[in-house]
Amino acid sequence: MAPPIHLRLERAWTNDPAHPVARTVTTDGDRVVALDAARPAAAEVIDTGGYALPGFIDAHVHFIRGGLSLTQLDLASVRSRAEFEAAIADTHATLPDDAWLIARGWSQENWPGHALPDRRWLAAAGARPTVCYRMDEHAALVNDAVLARCDLTTPIKGGSIARDRDGEPTGLMIEAAAWHRVNPLVPRPSRADLAHALDAAETYALDRGITTVGSMEYRKDVEAAYLPRRTHLRLRHRITLLDRSWPLDPDVLRFARTLPIDDRLAVIGAKSFLDGTLGLRTAAMLASYADAPETSGTFLEHAADGTLAEWARTIAAAGLSPSMHAIGDAAARLALDVVEDLHARGLDRGDAAPRIEHAQQLDTGDIRRFAGVIASMQPLHRADDGRSALTRLGPERLVGSYAFRQLLNAGAKLAFGSDWPIVAADPLLGIRAAVTGRTHDGTRFRPEENLTPHEAITAYTTGAAHALKIARGGTLGVGARSDLVVLDRDPFTCDWESAPPVIILTIAGGRVHPPA
């Protein structure tokens, strides 16, 4: 049990209407026991002079993959083919002969011309099997050594194998082709690797003020990584299962229902991918892409085979939350249809409340339908997609893109997260993106949708807690869990553009974690 702490602050914003602001916070173990009270004799005094918030809650991560990514080649900073090829060559030279080269993070938006890469970019790896995931992980670039292992002839629903003018595979495997033809070939991490990844991911999150995560995980990873360490977890973890076969594997539902629930670890839902991504033009749109009129994206999985409503009813009837990935406006409309069907059947109550993940591109006529609906969004995706949205969609449809302000005004339950390792799990960067509208190239994207710091912080605290079914989550009132982050300046009045806050320390479950 964590020892008692008496934290002296310039100000603490508690998110608790009974005591909204405090100058001291006292914790004992994993609970807040007093606000603005005298120091208990046994308590350690920490005098930061900083500004405290409830610990940040990231409503949407892929935590194990994020932890694994910390030791993989990161191509996010690559700005040309030459840099890409050099990074592959450098990493290849460091690996054992029998190791695969796994990389992630590239985006064609990061280099001139925005051409998609092909297998020739991987020549420096020679015969070493090499897989380079696009930043959204909805596509994988692979070399000849991997292509030789892949089934390249059988048609695959919901995916494609990019080919050149001669009909030869370019090495780019998109959507289901990446998930079902490439991913099963990649060597599975050992239990020791998974344990290290989970521990490294927790440290990464704590360094960034995150004390609770909502993670999308496969059952096998929950069993192999989380369960052996559940008594040693430093964060709270709420798991949404990615096992999404249809008909549903009864063992998956049984596992979700029988896993002992405690404050550290719980399974709360299951996820279905309705469509792809804007960057690959696979997000399902109501009309064709402005820069690719031959396509309007594609529905995936349950959305493609007409079983989405039945899948969601089954998940909700089990007391779990159906979580639906919907990036394009056609996918969002379908997700809203399912939400309304669940409501009409009385299946959307309590822990079974459905979530719409991403909700990046909406038809403006559908925004009012989000009243009372959980919109789980990622403001750092806005910083990325904002660079290409005009080209992809045209000016008329931008009015429904990353509609934070419109959704709040319509009564949506806004929850923020990152989608790590797709982008960094860093709430301060996410708040900055939501408040300023800055994209990665420095331009402003639809500033009329910007939020106030209070609104953005709320989405990373009580909004995310609501999405993850955590009672009193995202608050610092007496009796709440002792999860908080201390910043060096007032996050409600500082200049997020030029002088955003810096983390002084994080406390999770009453234990102090100084930043790296």
- Residue 381 pLDDT > 70: yes
Query: What is the mean predicted confidence (pLDDT) over 50-59?
Result: 99
Residues in the chain: 516
Distance CA 293, CA 28 (A): 60
Which residues, 6 or more positions from 28, have their beta carbon under 8 angstroms from its beta carbon? Answer: 4, 40, 43, 482, 510
CATH, domain range 5-55+480-513: 2.30.40.10
> How far is the CA of 390 from the CAs of 47, 278, 325, 398, 437, in angstroms?
48, 11, 22, 7, 15
Q: For the chain, what percent of residues have pLDDT higher than 90? A: 93
Query: What is the mean predicted confidence (pLDDT) over 84-95?
Result: 98
For 162-171, what is each residue's pLDDT tens digit? 999 999 999 9
For 144-164, what is each residue's pLDDT tens digit? 999 999 999 998 989 999 999
Give pLDDT, residue 260. 67
Q: With beta carbons less than 8 A apart as the criterion, state whether 57 and 483 touch.
A: no
The separation between CA 68 and the C-alpha centre of its own chain, rounded to angstroms, equals 15
For 293-349, what is each residue's pLDDT tens digit? 999 999 999 999 999 999 999 999 999 999 999 999 999 999 999 999 999 999 999
Distance CA 222, CA 216 (A): 10
Q: In 3D, which of 124, 123, 143 has the Cα closest to residue 132? A: 143
The separation between CA 403 and the C-alpha centre of its own chain, rounded to angstroms, equals 18
- Higher per-residue pLDDT: 458 or 250: 458
Element (H, E) at 140: strand 139-142
Whether the link from the prior residue into 250 is cis, omega within 30° of 0, is no
For 470-479, what is each residue's pLDDT tens digit? 999 999 999 9
Give pLDDT, residue 262. 77
CATH 3.10.310.70 fits 72-185, yes or no: yes
Q: What is the pTM of this model?
A: 0.96
The DSSP-derived string for 485-500 is EEESS-TTTS-TTTS-
Strand partners of residue 266:
238
Which ranges of 46-143 does DSSP label H, i.e. alpha helix?
A: 63-69, 81-92
Give pLDDT, residue 259. 78
Q: In 3D, which of 135, 136, 132 has the Cα closest to residue 171? A: 132
- Higher per-residue pLDDT: 231 or 34: 34
Q: With beta carbons less than 8 A apart as the criterion, state whether 31 and 480 touch.
A: yes
- Residue 261 pLDDT > 90: no
pLDDT band with cut points at 50, 70 and 90 for residue 70: very high
As a dihedral over the C-alpha atoms of residue 431, residue 432, residue 433, residue 438, rounded to 10 degrees, the angle is 170
* Mean pLDDT score of the chain: 96
- Residue 190 pLDDT > 90: yes
Pairing of strands 73-74, 21-28: unpaired
Strand partners of residue 106:
134
Q: In 3D, which of 125, 119, 112 has the Cα closest to residue 141? A: 119
Q: With beta carbons less than 8 A apart as the criterion, state whether 61 and 464 touch.
A: no
> How far is the CA of 145 from the CAs of 81, 96, 116, 294, in angstroms?
20, 16, 20, 32
Which ranges of 318-414 does DSSP label H, i.e. alpha helix?
A: 329-344, 379-385, 389-393, 404-410
For 426-448, what is each residue's pLDDT tens digit? 999 999 999 999 998 899 999 99
Instruction: Return the domain boundaries, the chain.
Output: 5-55+480-513, 72-185
